[in-house]
Amino acid sequence: MGSSRLGSFKVVLLDFERTLVRLFEDGAIEQQFFREVWDLCARRGVPARVLRTGGESPYSLWRKAHRWMQRRNQDPLRVDRMYHAVASVAKRYEMVAAETVRLFDDVPPVLDRLKAESIVVVIVSNNATNAVERILRDNNAEGLVDHVVGRDPKHELIGNLKPKPLLLMEALRLSRWGAHRALLVGDSVDDMRAGRAAKIRLKVGVLDHSAFSEWQLRRAGADLVLNRFGDLMPLLPGGDESGER
């Protein structure tokens, strides 16, 4: 099982946002989320020049602010409080979004195939675990995923979300397979960088809902870039080749 054009693998690690779903299809809601994170970080003394390096993503903004506070050697308790304050804001927006989000149409067939082939599936996400689990449950996909490793209020995860490899390493631990038997699928440079740091054997980028180009994904470590998530199907055991770039 798990032997295909992609080689032999026993576990598939899947990103969530923009890979399997689009949490914030309403751009106005995401902008509101962004502004709330910006204001919270600014009130805690993070300079606007630092916040601007986060681009338009509230998650990137959060990461940049947290890293800046750490590098300034601020009181660790103050840094942790900021992290948890933003985490609370993020979870609130994610849980509201989870009420109506649907998996992309090409996701369930791929998950079905992986299940049929007895390949372990782990979702590895910077999103709140509760939000991911609710979306899976509401989309009748809970039984197609073996584990969810997301953002939890655990001290060891503070500042250790992707692109750092901690979540992927935890996913491998739960799967009981090593990085050399793993396939990672994601849409962002952070996914690819985390995969490279965790020494994942094969890293696959997906362009369809990504904010990044094929060149950016490959530069970050992608071994293969597909147009759509569904293009994985012919590359899995029993499929025909197509869709790769």
Q: Please report which confidence band the pLDDT of residue 243 belongs to, taking 50, 70 and 90 as the band edges.
A: very low
Query: Is 236 strand, coil or helix?
Result: coil
Question: Residue 2: what pLDDT?
Answer: 52
pLDDT digits over 72-95, tens only? 978 888 998 999 999 999 999 999
What SS3 class is residue 122?
A: strand
**Using 50, 70 and 90 to split pLDDT, how confident is the model at 15?**
very high
> Is the pLDDT reported for residue 196 higher than 50?
yes
> Sorting pLDDT into bands at 50, 70 and 90, what band is 240?
low
SS3 204: strand
pLDDT value for 4: 65
The pLDDT assigned to 3 comes to 56
Q: How many helices (H) and strands (E) does the chain have?
A: 9, 8
Nearest to 157 by CA among 41, 20, 63, 35: 63
SS3 48: helix
Residue 218 has pLDDT above 80, yes or no: yes
Mean pLDDT, the chain, whole residue set: 92
Q: Would you place residue 245 in the very low, low, confident or very high pLDDT band (cuts 50, 70, 90)?
A: low
d(CA 82, CA 79): 5
Question: Which tokens in the block code for residue 144?
Answer: 């197609």
> In this model, does residue 36 exceed pLDDT 80?
yes
Place of tokens 């979702």: 123
| % of the chain beyond a pLDDT of 90 | 79
Residue 225 — φ and ψ, nearest 5°? -125, 125
Kindly report, residue by residue over 137-156, the tens digit of the pLDDT: 999 999 999 999 999 876 56
The DSSP annotation for 54-75 comes to TTT-HHHHHHHHHHHHHHTT--
User: What is the three-class DSSP state of 241?
Assistant: coil
What is the mean predicted confidence (pLDDT) over 25-49? 94
Instruction: Give the list of residues 6+ apart from residue 241 with CB closer than 8 angstroms, or none.
Output: 5, 234, 235
Residue with tokens 């994942």: 200
Residue labelled with tokens 């992986």: 114
CB 122 within 8 A of CB 145: yes
The C-alpha atoms of residue 193 and residue 199 are separated, in whole angstroms, by: 10
Q: Say if residue 50's pLDDT is above 60.
A: yes
What confidence score (pLDDT) does residue 242 get? 45
Assessment of whether the complete model's pTM goes beyond 0.95: no
Can you give the pLDDT at residue 241?
47
Question: Residue 153: what pLDDT?
Answer: 72
